[in-house]
Each structure stands twice: as structure tokens, then as C-alpha cells.
A and B are shown apart, each in its own frame.
Chain A
Amino acid sequence: MRKALGLAAFAAVLACGAANAQQVNVKIGVLSDMSSLYADIGGPGSVAAAKMAIADFTKDNPNVKVEMIAGDHQNKPDIGSQIANQWYDVDKVDMIIDVPNSGVALAVSQVANQKNKVFIVSGAAASDLTGPKCNANTIHWTYDTWMLANGTGTAIVKTGGDTWFFLTSDYAFGHALERDTIAAVEKAGGKVLGKVRHPLNTNDFSSFLLQAQSSKAKVIGLANAGGDTINSIKQAAEFGIVKGGQSLAGLLVFASDVAALGLPTAQGLVLTETWYWDMNDTNRAWTKRWQQERQGKWPTMIHAGVYAGVLHYLKAAVALKGNVSDGKTVVAQMKSMPTDDPLFGKGTIRADGRKIHPAYLLEVKKPEESKHPGDFYRVRATIPTEEAFRPLKEGNCPLVSG
């Protein structure tokens, strides 16, 4: 009898112990550009990355159940904010991630703040997201325009490119990138000779490139991304701009862009990224898995950021025992926990929502230097974490006191 009671008690204790592994249910929304000029740098690749993160995390944490939906913001802030509203209000989404379009990201950040949910930006670049427009519900992963400007901009001025002309994408991202790069160029002793704005998703850059050509600036800074950058570079070749002695500075270039351009056109481009698939074995293994969903494509740092961001969110959700309804609490939790994931290694999220990690100055290889498909870059320098991102105090973020 006593033995039976003892066994029963033991079983009860065991059961309690198992019940302590709290059931955690969360719903994640991957909001990206699925069909337009940013579809390769984010898009379905981000969905694939999120799926991988969910699979990896739930394998080690079977008490966690994650539902995921995806949406296309079509680079329109009104569509993006409508989807965000709908997802947070009606579809009970707890966290939205990605959004490669700064204008849309700014709008969604507002919505997340209003509804008190979580928004992790992996795709967008505008440094305002952790600057004047920061809020307690938004985290900015992967990269931003300040990092790009101080990485690429400073490096190019130091190698002699001291007069600049800007070809800028006419929306939040382009403006931010242009602003931050001008600051970096002038700080390094360079001069800005002029700038011209072009609409997002432009097909014909001829008249803009013509203006760049006649400015006689040594460097033509391309403050645009994705399809726009690809087109600018291709058409610059057509107009004999590089042959004429001017060089192109791709201020935001992704591996997928280099793949689309091909090494003969892209060689020599200097760029800054925070993750590159071919840098170490972990990245290469991850890339192989990712490519099972996205055959023939190359992952970008945005995809890596989605993977890492989802992992860290899920960790925070578990730490909060599944109480994820208050966005500010979750974000605070994410800021308090140091990050550690296979792709970005160890890092932290600052008070302004900025995730910091090292950055890498990369140069596109010449065709003869490329040894295997996807062998795009040579690592010219590593920018340590403390220098890679804008200092906390300089951002004018209301969350940062002093």
C-alpha cells in the first residue's frame, strides 16, 4: 500500500514536472515584397528562412507551437499597414517580421506600436527606425543605412573617391541612405557635387545617369536597392559611364543582385553586409538547407536576419511562459536577453531596438577569381560591432534617455 502510494506520488511529481514545460502558442506573420523589385532580397526567401527557424526551434522545444502566415505588401505603405492592422486585430498575429521597404516598415512600426504587438524589421534599412521614429514595439535587425554609409561610404572616400553624385530612390529608404552617406562622405573629407531622385521601381535610368555623367563626380553613389540597383548598373555600362572614368558605389547590394548582374558586370563593386553565405561552414550548411526551398537562388543577409529574429523571439516567448500578448513586454524581454544564433553569433539588442553585430566590407570578385557558383565576395575588412552601428546617443531616439 505504501509502495503504491509512493509510486503514485512519484508519478504525480513527474506529471507536475512535465506540466511545467508550459505550452507556448504564438502566431508569426512574414510580411514582405513577394513579387516586385525586392522579391529576391526578401520575399519567399524570407518565408523559407522563417520556416527553418520555426522547425529548428520547435525541434528542441516541443512545447512550443508556432503558426505562420505570409503576406505581400507590394511596396505600398497603405497595403502594408492594412495587412498589419488586419493581422494584429483579426488574425491574432503576435509578431510581424521582415518588410523590406522602409516606407512600409515605418507604417507597420506605427501599427505595431498602436496595437502593442511586436515588429521585427529585417528587410528595411532606414536608420530612423531606431532613431527619431523608434518605439518600444519595434526591433531593427540585420542592417541600416547608417551602417551602410559608414561602411561603404567611408571606405570609398579613403581610397580616393572624394567627389560624389547621388542617384537616389525617392522614398524613405533612399532619403535615409543618401542623408547618412553624405554625412559619412563629408566626415571623411569628401564633397557632394549633386544628387537626383528617381521613382521606386524605375525601368529607364538613362536621363538620371546622364546627369550623373555630366556632373563629372568621381563616384556615382547608388542610393537604391534590388531591381533599381541592378538596372542602374546595367544601364551605366550601356552608356559607357565606367569606361569614361567614373566609378559606381553600390550603397546597398545583396548577393542576389550580384547573381542577377553576373560577375563581369559587378566585379569591383565595394559593399557592406552583415552576413555572407560563404563566410564559414555554418553559413554554408544553412544555405544548403535554405536552397532546398529556393532552388537556384542565393540567401541574403535579410533572410539570415529573419531566421535569427524568429529564433530570438521564440526564446523570449518561452522565457515569458507564452504570455506574448503585451508587445512592449516581449520586446523588453528580447532586449534583456543576449542573442545567440548560428548565423550572427552572439550579440545584443540595444535600448533603441537596434540589434548590433559586426559588419563586413566586401568586394565583388573578378570572374576569374570565383572558384564555385555563388563565390561572389572577397572580405576586405571586418568592422567591429562597436563601430559598425550609429552610437546610441546620436540617434535622437525618444526611448534613450539623455
Chain B
Amino acid sequence: MFEIFGIPSTALFGQLLIGLINGSFYALLSLGLAVIFGMLNIINFSHGAQYMMGAFTAYLILKYSGLGYWPALIIAPIIVGFTGIIVERLFLQRLYKLDHLYGLLLTFGLALIFEGVARNYFGSAGLPYTVPESLRGGQNLGFMFLPNYRAWVIAASLVICIGTWFVIERTRLGAYLRAATENPTLVRAFGINVPRMITLTYGFGVSLAAFAGVMAAPIYNVSPQMGSELIIVVFAVVVIGGMGSILGAIVTGFGLGVVEGLTKVFFPEASNTVVFVIMAIVLLVRPAGLFGRRA
């Protein structure tokens, strides 16, 4: 154990680790938001609620079928992604002709419904979800203590984020997606089913949120408010990164998590607000966001 700037290394690296973990969630969630916004031009306010639904689905799967963490990691995002598809077909489709703000309002209303229903059935205290057997315990690295599960969270998020970026930026499917964002009519003329692509994209974005929710369940406790507390910070992350950019979402997500962690060590009172302060500064200096394309 050594000291840096008068802070013991266990504290510094511990907070950095927590910062990276928070950053993983910021990155996953802002990635989902960026994907949905890129395709549908809708701000998915219910993203936080869908993240919460992912966690609750994992909890319920465990309770009623005994299936644990690993199956839940796959099943829960599929289930919640499916509800996303229903939402898109039933509600969002009708709003594409209207001002984008209606999409924001509708998904806000949906978020209230999801959170309210969860609160009704589960109360607003947190429900327990245990860390899976295989990931319990941790490594004592000398300069800090690293719980295994939290290391897994960071690794898994990185893989998913980079994987998604790769698909969108480097594969043909991604090229179709990006083309359909620019010019849907032309892409349709090429025979590609654009409405279906939109629906599936929304479903994918939602399942990203749910995946983050399952990963969060063992560390953050499953509670109905877990999404709404997080979503507004994620909005700020997205504004800082730039709405259209996938890479921006990932880099800014992880980066801001680390910044928040560092702030907790050196200036704890500001840790809640540092992301918003950075957002204000970025808006003054570079309104399109750090990686934004549209000004």
C-alpha cells in the first residue's frame, strides 16, 4: 500500500475501480440510447426503466424457475427486448411523423408506468440478488482488493460495447443500418425492409439496457428506482459524447465513470454533480459534443 497525493493507494484504486464499473453501466446504457437515437431519432426515456426491467426479470427468473445468473444474462435481455419490440410496434411507430418531442414524452410516460407497476408489486426497497457462485470472492492485489464479480462486469461491458461498435461500423448489416438512418427511402428502394430494421434496432437497444440491468442486479440491488436514478446521468453522458456517435457513447461512458471515481477521492462533495458540470462546459465550448457529427 502506498500513497499518491496523500491518498492511500487502496482508496485511490478502489474508487477508480468503482468508477470503471459505473462507467461500464454508463457506456452500456448510452450505447443503447445512441443506437436507438441513431435509427429512430427518438430519445428513449424508458431506457432506465428497461434496465430496471432487465434486473427484475433476472430476479423473477431466479425466483420462479430457479435459473440463476448465467441463463438470466441471455434470457432476460431477450424477454425485455421483446417487450421493446411490442412498444415500438404499438406506440412509437405512430409518432415518427410528429415532432421528436412526442417520442420523448411517450417514452417518459412508459417509464412511469413500468416504474409504478414494479413499485406496486415489489415495494421500493431493494430486493436481493446474490452474486453467482463462480464469481464470488476477490483478489487481493496488494494495492487494492478486487472483487471478482466487479472485474467481470468491466470485462463483459467492454466486450459488448466493442462488439456492438464493430457490428455497426464495420459490417454490412451495420452499413445498412447507417444508410437507413441517412436515407430510409433510398434504402427501401434497394429492397431492404426498413420498418422491420427499425423495430429490431429498438429491440436491440432495449435488450442492451436489460443486459446492463442483469449485470447490475448483484451489485446494485434490484429496486424499481434503479433506472430513473441512473438515466439522467446517462443523458448527460450522451450530450457530452455527442448524440449520433456510437464510439462517443462508449468512450465518454467509461471516461466519465473514471472521472466520477477520481472526484470521489479528491473532492467527494462534487462527485454527484461533476458529470453535469462537465456537460455544461462541453456545451459552452463544443455544443455538438466531443464526438458529435451534427452541429
Residues of A whose CB lies within 8 Å of any CB of B are 35-37, 39-40, 74, 196, 201, 203-204, 206-207, 210-211, 213-214, 226-227, 231, 234, 238-240, 260
Contacts and interface: CB of A to CB of B under 8 A. Distances in A.
Interface stretch (B8-16, B38-46, B155-163, B201-209): B8-16
A45 to B, nearest CB: 13
A238 B126 contact: no
A214 B8 contact: yes
B125 A210 contact: no
B221 A231 contact: yes
Contacts of A213: 10-11, 14
B264 interface: yes
B219 A39 contact: no
A39 B125 contact: yes
Contact of A226 (B15, B119, B125, B147): B125
A210 B15 CA distance: 8
A36 B119 CA distance: 9
B266 interface: no
A240 B138 contact: yes
Contact of A238 (B14, B125, B128, B131): B131
B147 A238 contact: yes
A239 B147 contact: yes
A206 B22 CA distance: 11
Contacts of B14: 207, 210, 213-214
Given A204-B220, A210-B11, A239-B147, 4 more contacts: A36-B124, A227-B126, A238-B131, A239-B145
Given A39-B123, A231-B126, A203 B226 contact: yes
Given A35-B119, A203-B221, A231-B221, A214 B10 contact: yes
Q: Which 6 A-B pairs have the closest CB atoms?
A: A214-B11, A227-B125, A37-B125, A210-B14, A36-B124, A35-B123
A239 B139 CA distance: 10
A39 B123 CA distance: 8
23 contacts: A35-B119, A35-B123, A36-B123, A36-B124, A37-B124, A37-B125, A37-B126, A40-B125, A196-B268, A201-B125, A203-B126, A203-B223, A204-B219, A206-B18, A207-B15, A207-B18, A210-B14, A214-B11, A231-B221, A238-B131, A238-B147, A239-B138, A240-B138
Contacts of A240: 138, 140, 145
A239 B138 CA distance: 8
B26 to A, nearest CB: 14
Contacts of A211: 11
Contacts of B123: 35-36, 39
A227 B224 CA distance: 14
A238 B147 CA distance: 7
B289 to A, nearest CB: 28
Nearest to A244: B145
Interface string B267-290: 010000000000000000000000
Contacts of A206: 18, 219
A240 B146 CA distance: 10
A205 B123 CA distance: 20
Nearest to A261: B128
A172 to B, nearest CB: 19
Interface in B201-252: 219-221, 223, 226
A359 B8 CA distance: 41
B9 to A, nearest CB: 9
A240 B138 CA distance: 9
Contact of B220 (A39, A203, A210, A239): A203
A8 to B, nearest CB: 63
Contact of A210 (B18, B126, B221, B226): B18
